[in-house]
């Protein structure tokens, strides 16, 4: 899809990958609608050039308000980027269920709720693009990030199904699977934090601007899945070919991190 002149609604746009997408899509001539909870940060990202919607993506009223405000201002929604999300670092067998549910409300149901609100409009327009920001952890399960991985696997599966369900309506759905992106994501975990050795490693690390550029290119090419950095594909392929070996390597890396 050509981005020039398109209306792009971005969740999680107050910082990190969502904010970088706002800048990159604006450069390509898109009209922006930016949603997150922190209005002051959103105003800064919008820089007087985009609709600011302060709201919580886990609240249905706020999701409706975001889509209505976008339609009131621009009359359409061409691209939805679901970037709002957070991690959870804890043993899956021990994590408090209420915290796990909170993460699913954000990473999965928040995105699904936005999709259910925009798709009827996209169908009427006979076109649109849904971008769900998953993770490399949504392709290969990372230990102790197990529940976060599970939420991103769910999001990836949702995206694949939507693509097939909505192709006939001219609506495309794309997953984005970044490795480590240099944002405050690690500080915003809903619980716990990976060991410093793992958190600070440069493996599969990209800047938010690189991630946003990969997303913009993916939208332009109607990509099914964007993995960034692209070396992440090799990791995914290795896991498919040698799953037992990758299991043991990942376990060792995370255990070593815990011990240091």
Residues involved in catalysis: 148
Beta strands in 77-195 (DSSP E): 79-82, 128-133, 171-178, 180-181
Task: Please work out the total of residues on this chain that contact ligand NAP, with binding judged by CB under 6 A.
Answer: 29
Q: State the sign of the Cα–Cα–Cα–Cα dihedral 5, 7, 13, 16.
A: negative
Measure the CA–CA gap between 176 and 179, rounded to whole angstroms: 10
Minimum separation from the CB atom of position 161 to ligand NAP (A): 19
Q: How far apart are the first and last CA of the chain?
A: 47
61 binds ligand NAP (CB under 6 A): no
Binding mask 145-184 for ligand NAP (x = CB under 6 A): ---------------------------------x-xx-xx
Q: Nearest 5 degrees, angle CA 164-CA 10-CA 55? A: 120
Closer residue to ligand NAP, CB minimum distance, 41 or 201: 41
- Judged by CB under 6 A, the residue of 15, 80, 89, 117 near ligand NAP is 15
Measure the CA–CA gap between 234 and 228, rounded to whole angstroms: 11
Residues 6+ apart with CB under 8 A from 203: 179, 180
Closer residue to ligand NAP, CB minimum distance, 129 or 140: 140
- Please name every residue paired with 231 in a beta bridge, in sequence order, or none if there are none: none
Binding mask 64-83 for ligand NAP (x = CB under 6 A): -------------------x
Residues 89-148, interacting with ligand NAP (CB under 6 A): 106, 133, 135
201 binds ligand NAP (CB under 6 A): no
53 binds ligand NAP (CB under 6 A): no
């Amino acid at each position: 899809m050509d981005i020039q002149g398109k209306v792009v609604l971005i969740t999680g746009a107050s910082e990190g990958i969502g904010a970088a997408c706002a800048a990159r899509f604006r450069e390509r001539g898109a009209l922006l609608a930016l949603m997150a909870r922190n209005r002051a940060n959103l105003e800064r990202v919008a820089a007087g050039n985009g609709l600011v919607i302060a709201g919580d993506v886990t609240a249905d009223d706020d999701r409706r308000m975001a889509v209505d405000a976008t339609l009131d201002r621009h009359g359409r929604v061409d691209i939805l980027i679901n970037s709002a999300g957070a991690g959870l670092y804890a043993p899956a067998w021990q994590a408090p269920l209420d915290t796990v549910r909170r993460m699913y409300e954000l990473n999965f149901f928040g995105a699904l709720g936005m999709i259910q609100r925009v798709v009827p409009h996209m169908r009427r327009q006979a076109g649109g693009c849904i971008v769900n920001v998953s993770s490399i952890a949504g392709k290969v399960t990372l230990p102790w990030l197990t529940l976060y991985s599970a939420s991103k696997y769910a999001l990836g599966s949702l995206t694949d199904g939507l693509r097939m369900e909505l192709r006939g309506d001219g609506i495309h759905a794309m997953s984005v699977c970044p490795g480590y992106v240099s944002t405050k994501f690690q500080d915003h975990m809903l619980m716990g934090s990976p060991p410093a050795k793992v958190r600070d490693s440069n493996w599969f690390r990209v800047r938010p601007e690189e991630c946003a550029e990969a997303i913009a290119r993916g939208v332009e090419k109607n990509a099914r899945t964007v993995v960034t950095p692209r070396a992440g594909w090799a990791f995914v392929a290795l896991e498919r070919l040698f799953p037992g070996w990758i299991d043991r390597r990942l376990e060792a890396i995370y255990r070593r991190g815990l011990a240091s």
